[in-house]
Amino acid sequence: MFGYIVASVDALTPEQKERYRGCYCGLCRALRQRHGSLSRLTLNFDMTFLVMLLTSMYEPPESEQIKRCFIHPVKERESWSSRFTDYAADMNVALAYYNCLDDWQDGRSVARLTEAKMLKSGFERAAELWPRQCTAISACIEELSDIERSGGENPDVAANCFGRLMGELFVYYEDSWEKQFRLFGQSLGRFIYMMDACVDLESDLKRGRYNPFASMGGANLTEQEKRSILTMLIGECAVEFEKLPLLQDVDIMRSILYSGVWIQYERAMKKKGESEIDKRSL
Protein backbone atom coordinates (compact mmCIF):
# COMPACT_ATOMS: atom_id res chain seq x y z
CA MET A 1 0.00 0.00 0.00
CA PHE A 2 2.98 2.27 0.36
CA GLY A 3 5.39 3.73 -2.18
CA TYR A 4 3.05 6.05 -4.08
CA ILE A 5 4.41 9.31 -2.67
CA VAL A 6 7.46 9.41 -4.90
CA ALA A 7 9.14 12.17 -6.88
CA SER A 8 9.05 12.36 -10.64
CA VAL A 9 12.83 12.62 -10.92
CA ASP A 10 12.71 13.89 -14.51
CA ALA A 11 10.78 16.93 -13.29
CA LEU A 12 13.50 17.94 -10.81
CA THR A 13 16.59 20.04 -11.36
CA PRO A 14 19.98 18.31 -10.84
CA GLU A 15 20.28 20.03 -7.47
CA GLN A 16 16.81 18.91 -6.43
CA LYS A 17 17.56 15.34 -7.50
CA GLU A 18 20.65 15.28 -5.29
CA ARG A 19 18.70 16.72 -2.37
CA TYR A 20 15.92 14.17 -2.75
CA ARG A 21 18.25 11.20 -3.19
CA GLY A 22 20.29 12.41 -0.24
CA CYS A 23 17.18 12.31 1.93
CA TYR A 24 16.35 8.80 0.74
CA CYS A 25 19.90 7.58 1.38
CA GLY A 26 19.90 9.19 4.82
CA LEU A 27 16.74 7.30 5.69
CA CYS A 28 18.25 4.06 4.42
CA ARG A 29 21.31 4.55 6.63
CA ALA A 30 19.10 5.34 9.63
CA LEU A 31 17.17 2.10 9.10
CA ARG A 32 20.39 0.09 9.11
CA GLN A 33 21.76 1.83 12.19
CA ARG A 34 18.54 1.60 14.21
CA HIS A 35 17.00 -1.66 13.02
CA GLY A 36 19.61 -3.69 11.15
CA SER A 37 20.48 -4.18 7.52
CA LEU A 38 17.41 -6.27 6.64
CA SER A 39 15.12 -3.40 7.61
CA ARG A 40 16.37 -1.47 4.58
CA LEU A 41 14.34 -3.82 2.40
CA THR A 42 11.21 -2.13 3.78
CA LEU A 43 12.33 1.38 2.84
CA ASN A 44 9.67 3.38 1.00
CA PHE A 45 9.51 6.84 -0.53
CA ASP A 46 6.47 7.84 1.55
CA MET A 47 8.66 8.11 4.64
CA THR A 48 11.26 10.02 2.62
CA PHE A 49 8.56 12.61 1.99
CA LEU A 50 7.81 12.66 5.73
CA VAL A 51 11.45 13.45 6.54
CA MET A 52 11.54 16.25 3.99
CA LEU A 53 8.24 17.74 5.16
CA LEU A 54 9.07 17.81 8.88
CA THR A 55 12.62 19.05 8.24
CA SER A 56 11.28 21.86 6.08
CA MET A 57 8.74 22.87 8.70
CA TYR A 58 10.92 22.83 11.83
CA GLU A 59 14.36 23.48 10.27
CA PRO A 60 16.48 21.32 12.63
CA PRO A 61 20.25 20.92 12.16
CA GLU A 62 21.20 18.51 9.38
CA SER A 63 24.17 16.19 9.16
CA GLU A 64 25.71 15.14 5.85
CA GLN A 65 27.71 12.09 4.82
CA ILE A 66 29.47 10.93 1.67
CA LYS A 67 29.91 7.16 1.71
CA ARG A 68 29.64 3.99 -0.33
CA CYS A 69 27.13 1.29 0.56
CA PHE A 70 26.47 -2.29 -0.49
CA ILE A 71 23.74 -1.13 -2.90
CA HIS A 72 26.03 1.45 -4.50
CA PRO A 73 29.54 0.04 -3.86
CA VAL A 74 31.38 1.80 -6.68
CA LYS A 75 30.45 5.45 -6.35
CA GLU A 76 30.22 7.40 -3.13
CA ARG A 77 26.80 8.93 -2.51
CA GLU A 78 25.83 11.98 -0.52
CA SER A 79 23.20 11.66 2.17
CA TRP A 80 21.71 13.98 4.75
CA SER A 81 19.63 13.45 7.85
CA SER A 82 17.92 15.34 10.65
CA ARG A 83 16.22 14.30 13.88
CA PHE A 84 13.19 13.43 11.78
CA THR A 85 15.14 10.85 9.79
CA ASP A 86 15.36 8.58 12.83
CA TYR A 87 11.67 9.14 13.50
CA ALA A 88 10.73 8.22 9.92
CA ALA A 89 12.94 5.11 10.12
CA ASP A 90 11.01 3.96 13.20
CA MET A 91 7.66 4.67 11.52
CA ASN A 92 8.85 2.84 8.40
CA VAL A 93 9.56 -0.31 10.42
CA ALA A 94 6.29 -0.05 12.36
CA LEU A 95 4.27 0.23 9.15
CA ALA A 96 6.16 -2.60 7.49
CA TYR A 97 5.63 -4.84 10.51
CA TYR A 98 1.86 -4.39 10.53
CA ASN A 99 1.68 -4.59 6.76
CA CYS A 100 3.38 -8.01 6.91
CA LEU A 101 1.02 -9.21 9.64
CA ASP A 102 -1.97 -8.02 7.64
CA ASP A 103 -0.75 -9.90 4.57
CA TRP A 104 -0.27 -13.02 6.66
CA GLN A 105 -3.80 -12.83 8.05
CA ASP A 106 -5.32 -12.19 4.63
CA GLY A 107 -3.39 -14.64 2.50
CA ARG A 108 -1.48 -16.85 4.96
CA SER A 109 1.79 -15.89 3.29
CA VAL A 110 4.54 -17.67 5.22
CA ALA A 111 7.12 -15.33 3.71
CA ARG A 112 5.29 -12.29 5.07
CA LEU A 113 4.94 -13.91 8.50
CA THR A 114 8.67 -14.60 8.51
CA GLU A 115 9.35 -10.97 7.57
CA ALA A 116 7.07 -9.79 10.38
CA LYS A 117 9.02 -11.87 12.91
CA MET A 118 12.26 -10.30 11.72
CA LEU A 119 10.77 -6.81 12.12
CA LYS A 120 9.12 -7.44 15.49
CA SER A 121 12.02 -6.27 17.67
CA GLY A 122 12.33 -3.09 15.61
CA PHE A 123 8.63 -2.44 15.99
CA GLU A 124 8.81 -2.97 19.75
CA ARG A 125 11.61 -0.41 20.02
CA ALA A 126 9.61 2.05 17.93
CA ALA A 127 6.52 1.46 20.09
CA GLU A 128 8.50 2.35 23.22
CA LEU A 129 9.66 5.63 21.68
CA TRP A 130 6.44 6.58 19.88
CA PRO A 131 3.49 5.02 21.75
CA ARG A 132 0.86 7.40 20.32
CA GLN A 133 1.80 6.73 16.73
CA CYS A 134 2.28 2.98 17.08
CA THR A 135 -0.96 2.58 19.02
CA ALA A 136 -2.73 4.42 16.19
CA ILE A 137 -1.11 2.16 13.58
CA SER A 138 -2.18 -0.97 15.46
CA ALA A 139 -5.76 0.24 16.07
CA CYS A 140 -6.30 1.50 12.51
CA ILE A 141 -4.86 -1.62 10.86
CA GLU A 142 -7.15 -3.79 13.01
CA GLU A 143 -10.16 -1.59 12.23
CA LEU A 144 -9.29 -1.58 8.55
CA SER A 145 -9.09 -5.38 8.50
CA ASP A 146 -12.56 -5.56 10.09
CA ILE A 147 -13.96 -3.13 7.51
CA GLU A 148 -12.48 -5.06 4.61
CA ARG A 149 -13.67 -8.42 5.95
CA SER A 150 -17.22 -7.13 6.42
CA GLY A 151 -17.24 -5.74 2.87
CA GLY A 152 -18.81 -2.39 3.77
CA GLU A 153 -20.61 -0.54 0.99
CA ASN A 154 -19.38 2.96 1.91
CA PRO A 155 -15.90 3.42 0.37
CA ASP A 156 -15.18 6.44 2.58
CA VAL A 157 -15.14 4.35 5.76
CA ALA A 158 -12.00 2.39 4.87
CA ALA A 159 -10.25 5.38 3.29
CA ASN A 160 -10.95 7.54 6.34
CA CYS A 161 -9.61 4.82 8.62
CA PHE A 162 -6.31 4.69 6.77
CA GLY A 163 -6.33 8.49 6.72
CA ARG A 164 -6.45 8.57 10.52
CA LEU A 165 -3.43 6.28 10.63
CA MET A 166 -1.38 8.57 8.39
CA GLY A 167 -2.63 11.64 10.25
CA GLU A 168 -1.01 10.44 13.47
CA LEU A 169 2.28 9.68 11.73
CA PHE A 170 2.55 13.20 10.37
CA VAL A 171 2.17 14.74 13.83
CA TYR A 172 5.60 14.79 15.47
CA TYR A 173 5.13 17.71 17.86
CA GLU A 174 1.80 18.28 19.57
CA ASP A 175 2.11 22.03 19.01
CA SER A 176 0.15 24.79 17.28
CA TRP A 177 0.65 23.06 13.91
CA GLU A 178 -0.57 19.68 15.15
CA LYS A 179 -4.06 20.08 13.69
CA GLN A 180 -2.81 21.10 10.27
CA PHE A 181 -0.28 18.28 10.05
CA ARG A 182 -2.96 15.80 11.08
CA LEU A 183 -5.36 17.12 8.43
CA PHE A 184 -2.67 16.88 5.78
CA GLY A 185 -1.71 13.35 6.81
CA GLN A 186 -5.35 12.27 6.82
CA SER A 187 -5.96 13.61 3.32
CA LEU A 188 -2.76 12.00 2.06
CA GLY A 189 -3.75 8.69 3.66
CA ARG A 190 -7.15 8.73 1.98
CA PHE A 191 -5.48 9.29 -1.37
CA ILE A 192 -2.93 6.50 -0.83
CA TYR A 193 -5.64 4.03 0.15
CA MET A 194 -7.84 4.82 -2.85
CA MET A 195 -4.88 4.92 -5.26
CA ASP A 196 -3.83 1.47 -4.09
CA ALA A 197 -7.41 0.24 -4.45
CA CYS A 198 -7.58 1.62 -7.96
CA VAL A 199 -4.36 -0.09 -9.01
CA ASP A 200 -5.50 -3.41 -7.45
CA LEU A 201 -9.14 -3.22 -8.58
CA GLU A 202 -8.98 -5.81 -11.34
CA SER A 203 -7.11 -8.42 -9.30
CA ASP A 204 -9.29 -7.80 -6.22
CA LEU A 205 -12.47 -8.35 -8.22
CA LYS A 206 -11.10 -11.59 -9.68
CA ARG A 207 -10.12 -12.92 -6.26
CA GLY A 208 -13.20 -11.71 -4.45
CA ARG A 209 -11.28 -9.38 -2.16
CA TYR A 210 -12.62 -6.15 -0.72
CA ASN A 211 -12.10 -3.04 -2.81
CA PRO A 212 -13.83 0.31 -2.18
CA PHE A 213 -14.27 0.87 -5.91
CA ALA A 214 -16.44 -2.25 -6.12
CA SER A 215 -19.39 -0.42 -4.54
CA MET A 216 -18.87 2.49 -6.96
CA GLY A 217 -19.24 0.50 -10.15
CA GLY A 218 -16.23 -1.80 -9.99
CA ALA A 219 -15.12 -3.05 -13.40
CA ASN A 220 -17.67 -0.77 -15.09
CA LEU A 221 -15.88 2.36 -13.90
CA THR A 222 -14.03 4.10 -16.71
CA GLU A 223 -10.42 5.18 -16.31
CA GLN A 224 -11.61 8.78 -16.49
CA GLU A 225 -14.05 8.23 -13.61
CA LYS A 226 -11.40 6.59 -11.44
CA ARG A 227 -8.85 9.27 -12.22
CA SER A 228 -11.40 11.98 -11.40
CA ILE A 229 -11.89 10.48 -7.94
CA LEU A 230 -8.15 10.29 -7.33
CA THR A 231 -7.63 13.83 -8.66
CA MET A 232 -10.23 15.15 -6.22
CA LEU A 233 -8.52 13.38 -3.31
CA ILE A 234 -5.00 14.59 -4.13
CA GLY A 235 -6.47 18.05 -4.69
CA GLU A 236 -7.80 18.04 -1.13
CA CYS A 237 -4.36 16.96 0.05
CA ALA A 238 -2.68 19.77 -1.88
CA VAL A 239 -5.00 22.32 -0.28
CA GLU A 240 -3.92 21.19 3.20
CA PHE A 241 -0.26 21.12 2.14
CA GLU A 242 -0.33 24.72 0.94
CA LYS A 243 -1.53 25.87 4.37
CA LEU A 244 1.82 24.88 5.88
CA PRO A 245 4.47 27.65 5.98
CA LEU A 246 7.15 25.73 4.11
CA LEU A 247 10.16 27.14 2.26
CA GLN A 248 13.02 24.63 2.13
CA ASP A 249 12.46 21.87 -0.45
CA VAL A 250 8.89 23.05 -1.07
CA ASP A 251 9.31 22.79 -4.85
CA ILE A 252 10.44 19.16 -4.52
CA MET A 253 7.43 18.35 -2.37
CA ARG A 254 5.06 20.11 -4.75
CA SER A 255 6.52 18.10 -7.60
CA ILE A 256 5.80 14.93 -5.63
CA LEU A 257 2.20 15.86 -4.79
CA TYR A 258 1.29 17.35 -8.16
CA SER A 259 2.95 14.88 -10.50
CA GLY A 260 5.04 12.20 -8.78
CA VAL A 261 2.06 10.53 -7.06
CA TRP A 262 0.76 9.48 -10.49
CA ILE A 263 3.84 7.47 -11.48
CA GLN A 264 2.69 4.14 -10.06
CA TYR A 265 -0.81 4.67 -11.44
CA GLU A 266 0.47 5.36 -14.92
CA ARG A 267 2.70 2.27 -14.78
CA ALA A 268 -0.23 0.12 -13.72
CA MET A 269 -2.47 1.49 -16.46
CA LYS A 270 0.25 0.98 -19.04
CA LYS A 271 0.75 -2.61 -17.91
CA LYS A 272 -3.00 -3.20 -18.04
CA GLY A 273 -3.14 -1.78 -21.56
CA GLU A 274 -0.31 -4.02 -22.70
CA SER A 275 -2.08 -6.99 -21.15
CA GLU A 276 -5.26 -6.19 -23.07
CA ILE A 277 -3.31 -5.96 -26.31
CA ASP A 278 -1.72 -9.35 -25.62
CA LYS A 279 -5.16 -10.90 -25.02
CA ARG A 280 -6.55 -9.53 -28.28
CA SER A 281 -3.54 -10.85 -30.20
CA LEU A 282 -4.15 -14.46 -29.11
What are the pLDDT digits (tens) for 184-233?
999 999 999 999 999 888 888 888 888 999 888 877 888 899 999 999 99
**Is residue 164 included in any domain, yes or no?**
yes
183: domain range? 154-244+257-270
**Is residue 195 included in any domain, yes or no?**
yes
Total structural domains within the chain: 1
What are the pLDDT digits (tens) for 18-58?
999 999 999 999 999 999 888 888 888 999 999 999 999 99
**Is residue 182 included in any domain, yes or no?**
yes
Model pLDDT, residue 83:
96
Model pLDDT, residue 131:
96
**Is residue 183 included in any domain, yes or no?**
yes
Model pLDDT, residue 280:
38
Secondary structure of the chain in the HEC alphabet?
CCCCCCCCHHHCCHHHHHHHHHHHHHHHHHHHHHHCHHHHHHCCHHHHHHHHHHHHHHCCCCEEEEECCCCCCCCCEEEEECHHHHHHHHHHHHHHHHHHHHHHHHHCCHHHHHHHHHHHHHHHHHHHHCHHHHHHHHHHHHHHHHHHHHCCCCHHHHHHHHHHHHHHHCCCCCCCCHHHHHHHHHHHHHHHHHHHHHHHHHHHHHHCCCCHHHHHCHHHCCHHHHHHHHHHHHHHHHHHHCCCCCCCCHHHHHHHHHCHHHHHHHHHHHHHHHHHHHHHHC
What are the pLDDT digits (tens) for 266-276?
887 787 665 54
**Is residue 59 included in any domain, yes or no?**
no
**Is residue 163 included in any domain, yes or no?**
yes
What are the pLDDT digits (tens) for 121-167?
888 999 999 999 999 999 998 899 888 888 877 889 999 999 999 99
**Is residue 159 included in any domain, yes or no?**
yes
Model pLDDT, residue 36:
87
Length of the chain: 282
Model pLDDT, residue 282:
37
Model pLDDT, residue 193:
95
Model pLDDT, residue 279:
40
Model confidence, pTM: 0.90
Model pLDDT, residue 72:
64
Q: 195 or 77: which carries more pLDDT confidence?
A: 195
What are the pLDDT digits (tens) for 98-114?
878 877 766 667 777 78
**Is residue 160 included in any domain, yes or no?**
yes
